[in-house]
Amino acid sequence: MAVLIWVVEGSWPACVDAAGRLGWSGDRVMLIYVREAEVTAAVAGAYAGLFGRGRSARDPSQRLTEASISVAEELLDAAEARLGRPAQRLIRTGRIEREVVAAATGVDVLIVARDGDLSRLGPRSLGRHTRFVVDHAPCPVLLVWPRIAPSVESLQPPP
Amino acid sequence: MAAEISSILLLFVVLGFAVLRPRGLPEAVAAIPAAAIVVASGAVHWADALSEIRRLAPVVAFLAAILILAQLCDDEGLFRALGAVTARASRGNPIRLLTMVFIVAAAITAILSLDATVVLLTPVVFVTAASLGLRAKPHVYACTHLANSGSLLLPVSNLTNLLAFTASGLTFGAFTLMMALPWVAAVGVEYLIFRLFFDRDLGLGTTGCGQPEKLALPVVAVVIVALTLAGFGLTSVAGVNPAWAAAAGAAVLAVRALCRRTATVKSLVSAGSVPFLAFVLALGVVVRAVEDNGLGSAVGRLVPVGSSLPALLAVAALAAVLANVVNNLPAVLVLLPAAAAAGPGVVLAVLIGVNVGPNLTYVGSLATLLWRRILTRNNAEPQLGEFLRLGALTVPPVLVVSVLALWVSLRMFGG
């Protein structure tokens, strides 16, 4: 069985633990981390906005790109260590939600953590990227709470 | 008429070159010949060009000193140490980290200028957030935003401030006093909007991977920066150009770095960005030619007179719009003569407009934005909709609230 775990800062341990708890340490475990191109592009833009400074050698987005690659490596190291067994690592760059959907093709299960409003049950508990991935995933999805799930009392009263 | 058209055309060439940056050539490559042409063709009298250069030279020297000071502080490890301090103070809490990033970025921008925040602080903040296992986006965006809206406080915080400071006739102390409230207001409004906008990103805690490294603040660099700041106050009181305080601060750290061989003369000159300084001088001459040939009176009619709240708001809005067309540097050069004639209150309102306005786009202006869109059309263009939305949400309220604060300051401290 092929299991794909989407590693996101803050919420990934819940995904890794879910894989372990359900015994899905199956044949093939993959960890995916997507570097957000938007952050680097925004910093490159801020530097370009400094009119007249020329010299791309000082462009901070290059330092950011290097740093974000090592950050991705470290996150996947930590995830693999928590998983307790070797896993295939995928580091992608671009639009987060689309990269995750593309990587989920042909996978038996994709494990995703909620990343929105975690204080109550409901659709808002999914952030923008997670919403897209859940809606567009070409495979079964296991959606986990990164912390203890809110109680059923947090449901809105029926209209 | 011919002189009017030719100088406007030359200004467009200079600005166009600076936006397009063909082959990565320095912007001065187009600006210096253009300045030579406007003088040679008589569009601006050589004596006027000289007086413009004389007026701008101390500003440019001041800027060079600050740029070198910031680079030397980085060499001393100041920025990495600040990253470690913010990481420790945040205790892994994303909201506390954002608060710390706001404080540090606003202070660095104010004291060591926006260049220091964009070039030196932003990468450190990214690494700091990531090493805490937190999403870096809100914190990195806070840096890019505060590089603009956090640059209101001191004349050294932004090149636009140095230009306006020279034109306003205010002392360093008076400028700072007037802009303290607008600066606090701008940073405060940005903070509130960031908290709401990134509510979800900030809601997820840390995964606790990695301990923040323990780095002590480089004492010498901190002391020199503090002394430089004190020097600004003292020179202001003594009626001496505060650029000397900046030069002294940079000189002390430079000598230390040269002795310890952590810097070379070449690296110091490179930190001073000579082509950039030449570009500013040449741009000043070309803008002067455009002004002398009719644009000056046209702008004079556009700039509202008086320091009533509606007039200040209108001036700031006009400046913000103009800054977004090409860039805030030409915008402030074009607006300053008319604003200076209308009084220091109007000059400071222009400043709020040109400093806060560039946050509307992530690259500081529509011209640069469009050009970058064309450049990246064939690649997988990153999705910057979120950043643009953040700009659209923050700029109008920050503008209004900081102009309101300026109006209160003017009432309180006169001007």
Q: Is the pLDDT of residue B1 over 80?
A: no
- The alpha carbon of residue B229 is apart from the nearest alpha carbon of chain A, in Å, by 24
Chain B residues within 8 A of A146 when measuring between CB atoms: 204
Does A52 sit within 8 Å of B27, measured CB to CB?
Answer: yes
Shortest CA gap B183–chain A (Å): 20
Contacts of B373 in chain A (CB under 8 A): none
Q: Which among A50, A55, A64 has CB closest to B123?
A: A64
Better-predicted residue by pLDDT, A61 or B102: B102
**Is B368 in Cβ contact with A48 (below 8 Å)?**
yes
Contact B133 A9 (CB under 8 A): yes
Write out pLDDT tens, residues B221-244: 999 999 999 999 899 889 888 899
Q: How far apart are CA B126 and CA B124, in angstroms?
A: 5
Percent residues over pLDDT 70 in chain A:
96
Residue B150 structure tokens: 């956090």
Question: Do A9 and B130 make contact, defined as CB atoms within 8 angstroms?
Answer: yes
Residue B61 CB contacts under 8 Å (≥ 6 apart), including other chains: B243, B247, B277
| 8 A C-beta contact, residue B283 and residue B333 | yes
Q: Where are the domains of chain A?
A: 2-148
Confidence at B177, pLDDT banded by 50, 70, 90: very high
Distance from C-alpha of A28 to C-alpha of A5, rounded to nearest angstrom: 11
Q: What is the 3-state secondary structure (H, E, C) of chain A?
A: CEEEEECCCCCHHHHHHHHHHCCCCCCEEEEEEEEEHHHHHHHHHHHHCCCCCCCHHHCHHHHHHHHHHHHHHHHHHHHHHHHCCCCEEEEEEECHHHHHHHHCCCCCEEEEECCCCCCCCCHHHCCHHHHHHHHHCCCCEEEECCCCCCCHHHCCCCC
> Model confidence over B185-201: pLDDT tens digits?
999 999 999 999 998 88
Higher pLDDT, B382 or B151: B151
**Rounded to whole angstroms, how far apart are CA atoms A117 and B133?**
19
The per-residue pLDDT for B131 is: 85
Section A102-126 average pLDDT: 90
Residue of A47, A51, A63, A144 best to disrupt the B interface, most CBs of B under 10 A: A51
Q: At what angle do helices B172-197 and B137-149 cross, to 10 degrees?
A: 150
Average pLDDT over residues A106-117: 91
- Mean pLDDT across the stretch B120-138? 91
- Compare all CA atoms of chain A with the CA of B27 and give the residue at the minimum distance: A52
Q: Are the beta carbons of B144 and A46 separated by less than 8 Å?
A: yes
Considering CB atoms only, which of A42, A51, A63 is closest to B362?
A42
Helices and strands per DSSP (H, E), number in chain B: 20, 0
Judged against a pLDDT cut of 80, whether residue B386 lies above it is answered with: yes
Among B59-68, B292-301, B388-397, the least confident range: B292-301
User: Average pLDDT for residues A85-107, to the nearest whole number?
Assistant: 92
**Does the pLDDT at position A48 exceed 90?**
no
Give me the pLDDT at residue A26, please.
62
The answer to whether the CB atoms of A48 and B380 lie below 8 A apart is no
pLDDT digits (tens, 9 = 90+) for B197-221: 998 888 776 655 456 667 888 999 9
**Neighbour count for residue B234 (Cβ, 10 Å):** 16
By Cβ distance, the residue of A8, A41, A60 closest to B382 is: A41
Nearest residue of B to residue A62 by CA position?
B123
Structure-token pair, residue A103: 């990587």
pLDDT of residue B212: 62
What are the chain A neighbours of B328 within 8 Å (beta carbons)?
51
Cβ distance B126 to A67 less than 8 Å, yes or no, reads yes
Task: Work out the mean pLDDT of chain A and round it to a whole number.
Answer: 88
Residue in chain A nearest B71 by alpha carbon: A58
**Residue B255 confidence (pLDDT) above 70:** yes
**Cα distance between residue B300 and residue A105, in whole Å:** 63
What percent of chain B has pLDDT above 70? 95
For residue A57, pLDDT over 60 is answered with yes
Task: Count interface pairs A-B at CB distance under 8 A.
Answer: 163
Q: How does pLDDT run across B20-62, given as a tens digit for each residue? A: 888 878 888 999 999 999 899 888 888 988 998 998 898 899 9
* Cβ-Cβ contacts under 8 Å, B387 against chain A: 38, 42, 45
- Which range has the worst mean pLDDT, A69-73, A115-119, B367-371, B401-405? B367-371
Residue B330 has pLDDT above 70, yes or no: yes
Nearest to B368 among A37, A42, A49 (CB): A49
Q: Which residues of B touch A60 (CB under 8 A)?
A: 118-120, 122-123
Q: What is A2-148's CATH number?
A: 3.40.50.620
Residue B303's pLDDT band, with cuts at 50, 70 and 90, is confident
User: Which residues in A lie closer than 8 A to residue B112 (C-beta atoms)?
Assistant: none
For residue A114, the chain B residue with the least C-alpha distance is B204
For residue A32, the model assigns a pLDDT of: 96
Mean pLDDT, residues B256-281 taken together: 89
pLDDT over threshold 60, residue A141: yes
Residue of A nearest to B121 (CA): A60
Of the partner residues B144, B204, B209, the one whose CB lies closest to the CB of residue A146 = B204
The answer for residues whose C-beta is within 8 angstroms of residue B195's C-beta and 6 or more apart is B95, B98, B202
- Please, what is the average pLDDT of chain B? 89
Residue B362: in which H helix or E strand, if any? none
ipTM: 0.86
